[in-house]
Structure 1
Amino acid sequence: MSDITAPDITTIAICSTALGAIMCIAMLLSWFKDGRPGTRSWLFAPFGIAVPAGILLTYPDVLPGPWGLLLGWYFLTVVYGAAWTAARVLGGRRPQVMAVLLPCTAVLVFTATIGADSHMPDLRMLPRVLLFTAFNGLAAREFGRLRSPRLPSATTLYWIFTAFFLFDLARSPFSLWLAAPFGPKEPEVWSIALFNFLLVLEGSLLAMFVTALGREQQAEQNYRLASIDPLTGIGNRRALEERLNMLEQNAASAPGRQTVLAVLDIDHFKAVNDQMGHAFGDTVIAGAAKTAENVFGTGNVFRVGGEEFAAIIRAPDDEACIAQAETMRTRFAAHPHGSGPASRTCTISIGLARLDTAPDHGAAFKAADRALYMAKRLGRNKAIMLDSTPAEHMPPEPARLGEKPA
């Protein structure tokens, strides 16, 4: 027997159809509730396609000849492809509709032609199982790319699809001999029950954790927005604090390199604002952030005040760290802001202190702040590095970053 008959698959099809319909309706309601975002429309596609698949597998006689069962299995393979598409969309990647439809259609043609040959009935199920395996593996890869501490549901979905991928991969060689619906042989109670259970299980888990993942992604986006400075697009003080905490926890992960905290302040910024206007001042701040990112690297620069920045420098020794700070200082001083007669250059002062020798990053920040204060007192447009250990004969430090000479 090459395909399961309608009575044999009634339980499976009814469960699949009911689950698909319920989940599709739930996803649609959530979609409307959230303002119908375009990306979310793909999330209910697997459940929506499961509905015609279940109907055709339950009532194949609605179409003439074998086409009811053939198209029912066709839509079931598309369901797995739609799950992969939903995973891509959740990861911010473009859907690959033709990459789903073309292999599914090819399998349909195969089962309707070569697979229908009375001498080769055992080959019908193998290409379907291979498609299930491929789509589960691709979905697992997409969710694997999303894994992060802030998205635990992505990790769970990765392992769910990996488990189903491994199961389908393991059963692929046996799809020539297993009982239907796992293979071409006569269906048995265990095969019907197991196939039914796996369909319901995978669909339920997908719906549950995809919904949770959507909430986690929204929370992560809100968190990122709260950690980004809107003017410059770099991290703010909150992001700096997290980065410093992370560096403290992984202090021994980069042998042979040292970590330095740099505090930067645009010189005479109040005069620039007064003379050129606040819009020009914003241009100078944005230019400083861009130059700093080019020198210190994206993700290593943070805006901690009006015209004040902090940067993380990773280099083999003190000289290399100071050289990076000097590169930042000279590049910024040489860069004109504005255009025409309204353009002008500005300078920046930099204080540095080693993070890896400081008792904590608070002490390193204070030391870098003192170095910056000293650079201001010594004429500005300088980069000075101080020891992170508080010294007795340092210039008096300001009460907080920002209370220093302009």
Structure 2
Amino acid sequence: MPDITTIAACSTALAAIMAIAIGLSWLKDGRPGQRSWLFAPFGMAVPAGVLLTYPDILPGPWGLRLGWFLLTLVYGAAWLAARVMGGRRARPLAVLLPCTAVLVFSGTLGADDAMSELRMLPRVLLFAAFNGLAAREFGRMRSPRLPSATTLYWIFSAFFAFDLIRSPFALWLPAPLGPGDTQVWSIALFNFLIVLEGSLLGVFMTALGREQLAERHYQLASIDPLTGIGNRRALDDRIAHLEREHDSARSIALAVLDIDNFKSINDALGHAFGDVVIAETAKIARDCFGANNVFRVGGEEFAAIVTARQDDAVVERAEAMRKRYEGHSHRAGSLSRRCTISIGLSRLEDVHDHENAFKAADRALYMAKRLGRNQTVVIDSAAPCTQPPAAEIQTNVSVM
């Protein structure tokens, strides 16, 4: 059976290997600043393991005390890495202060024989706190395109729960699980848990970094740079999402919106002012229909997913947007102009058949233009595709 020193030394060696692997991955991926924090917990785990394995390299009890201090910092650094991966600022003081407080406790009150049974409890509670905070950070990141964030959430949640459950036992278990005399099984279990959590952290946080990079590339390919809303590709993805979560109790329609006489705006006031009009059109539509439901599908043409509990309410939402837009003044420097918008609306009877709904909404938009612009026209997606004469258009328009 391996002795205690061998077990601890193997764990330290594994931490060093993980730190090297993380460093090489960081270099391979172009040294992203966000990922540099991932090295911190593994980098600190190596000296922590050395001091806990060979405490005699420092005089008195300070080898063990500093080893435990560094180990609490390892858990805190994992939480900071989670914060940074989630796009939030690292807060080193929020880690350093409680870890230092536990170090001071271990060197003062915790050093007293009468208080020796409490020596491990603050450390276990700190481990639980940092694991819980890391789980919360990854919980905020969960999304269909970031599956590693979901996995990390459950990993840290499991260790958080485990640390909470074992905290009462930290009053009597053998070291390093508690204040008792060290035994082979206790140090084997302790090192196994640290290596397991560290390995899972290294694998899935590296995977998460790559998923986030792929997500940024997706955003660049799916977001219109002028307006900040989605493009036609994003519209297709949104409709695919509706297919997965279709709610038959809701009425869903596809709207096509087009700024009236936009060419004359560009000709009279310049393309820079035209860009202002396009950007503000996107903002108004986003406010009315929701940020995830508005898309730029052409120069001055937009599409929107409009939802409500009833069909009439869908039409009312589209009309409310049109009226709000009509009353809005577009401004750029000394230039100001009010514009109007035409809306074609078609119900998504079946989200799987959205191409027909888009074509029907486009026909309804054409009718709105023929009928004088600045109005909302609703057409059944099953209406024939042939365009009737202008005198007959009104009879082909029907409320859903």
Normalising by the residue count of structure 2, what TM-score does the alignment of the two structures yield? 0.90
Give 1 or 2: higher helix fraction.
2
Q: How does 1:259-298 map to 2 (within 5 A)?
A: 259-298=252-291
Quote how far apart the aligned CAs of 1:293 are.
Answer: 1.1
Opposite residue 328 of structure 2, the aligned amino acid is H
Q: 8 Å contact 1:88–1:94 — kept in the other structure?
A: yes
2:102 to 107, 116, 135: 107
Is residue 67 from structure 1 mapped to residue 56 from structure 2 by the alignment?
no
The reply on whether 1:134 has 2:112 as its aligned counterpart is: no
Report the equivalent of 2:326: 333
Give, in angstroms, the shift of residue 67 of structure 1. 0.8
Could you tell me whether the CA contact under 8 Å between 1:16 and 1:51 is conserved in 2? no
Find the aligned partners of 1:243 and 1:138 in 2 and give their Cα distance: 32
Report the alpha carbon displacement of residue 9 of structure 1 after superposing the two structures with TM. 4.8
Aligned residues: 389
AA aligned to 1:92 is: G
Q: Which position in structure 2 is the counterpart of 1:350?
A: 343
Letter in 2 for 1:305: G
SS of match in other structure, 1:251: coil
Aligned-partner residue type, residue 348 of structure 2: L
Cα distance in 1, alignment partners of residues 334 and 33 from structure 2: 47
Secondary structure of 1:262 counterpart? strand
Instruction: Tell me: CA distance 1:209–1:396, structure 2 relative to 1, closer, same or farther (3 Å).
Output: farther
Encode CA deviations 1:304-354: one digit per residue, 9 max, x unaligned. Answer: 111110111122333322222222222223333344664333221101111
- 1:236 counterpart = 2:236: no
- Check the 8 A contact 2:145/2:215 in 1, yes or no: yes
AA at the equivalent of 1:355:
L
In the alignment, structure 2 segments of 5+ residues that lack a partner are: 391-400
Change beyond 3 A, Cα 1:396–1:179 = farther
Whether 1:209 and 2:204 are equivalent positions in the alignment is: yes
- What is the CA–CA distance in structure 1 between the aligned matches of 2:87 and 2:4, rounded to whole Å? 37
C-alpha distance in 1 between matches for 2:20 and 2:389: 66
For residue 45 of structure 1, report the CA deviation from its aligned partner. Answer: 0.6
Q: CA shift at 1:110, angstroms?
A: 1.4
Distance 2:76 2:47 in 1: 15
3-state secondary structure, aligned to 2:84: helix
Secondary structure class of the residue paired with 1:350:
strand
Distance of aligned partners of 1:396 and 1:293 in 2 relative to their CA distance in 1, 3 Å threshold: farther
Counting aligned pairs with the same residue, the percent is 71
Q: Is the 8 A contact 1:19 1:203 kept in 2?
A: no
Contact 2:226 2:279 in 1 (8 A): yes
User: Aligned ranges for residues 293-308 of structure 1 at < 5 Å?
Assistant: 293-308=286-301
Equivalent in 305, 314, 336 of residue 321 of structure 1: 314
1:5-404 paired onto structure 2 within 5 Å: 9-252=4-247, 255=249, 257-339=250-332, 342-356=335-349, 360-391=353-384, 395=388
The AA in structure 2 aligned to 1:351 is G
1:177, 1:184 within 8 Å by CA — same for their partners in 2? Answer: yes
Gap runs ≥5 in structure 1: 1-6, 398-406
C-alpha separation between the residues in 1 aligned to 2:25 and 2:384? 60
Is the 1:19–1:47 Cα contact (8 Å) retained in structure 2?
Answer: no
Within 1, Cα distance between the matches of 2:171 and 2:39?
Answer: 33
Instruction: Rate the CA distance shift 1:235–1:307 in 2: closer, same or farther, 3 A.
Output: same
Could you report, residue by residue, the CA deviation over 1:348-394 in whole angstroms, capped at 9, with x for unpaired residues?
A: 11011111367721222122111111101111111111122224875
Q: Is the 8 A contact 1:349 1:380 kept in 2?
A: yes
Query: Residues 392, 80 of structure 1: CA spacing in aligned structure 2 closer, same or farther, 3 A cutoff?
Result: closer
Contact 2:360–2:385, Cα closer than 8 Å, also in 1: no
Question: Following the alignment from structure 1 to structure 2, what is the Cα–Cα distance between the partners of residues 396 and 81?
Answer: 72
Q: Secondary structure at the match of 2:79?
A: helix
The question of whether the paired residues in 2 share the 8 Å contact of 1:358 and 1:389 is answered with no
What's the TM-score once normalised by structure 1's chain length? 0.89
Deviation larger for 242-251 or 115-124:
242-251
Cα drift, residue 302 of structure 1: 0.5
Instruction: Give the C-alpha shift of residue 96 in structure 1.
Output: 2.1
Q: 1:116 to 1:342 in 2, by over 3 A?
A: closer
Aligned pair in 2 of structure 1 residues 60, 313: CA closer, same or farther (>3 Å)?
same
Match of 1:404 in 2: none
- Deviation string 1:116-162 (CA, Å, 9 cap, x unpaired) is 11122211111111111221122122212222221111122122222
Alignment RMSD: 2.3
The 3-state SS of whatever aligns with 2:217 is helix
Distance 2:34 2:333 in 1: 45
Q: 1:286 to 1:13 in 2, by over 3 A?
A: same
Residue 303 of structure 2 aligns to a residue whose secondary structure is strand
* Distance in 2, Cα, partners of 1:396 & 1:208: 64
Contact 1:357 1:388 in 2 (8 A): no
Partner of 1:3: none
| Distance change (3 Å), C-alpha of 1:392 and 1:93 | closer
Tell me which residue corresponds to 2:396. Answer: none
The answer (yes or no) to whether the contact 2:15–2:195 under 8 Å persists in 1 is no
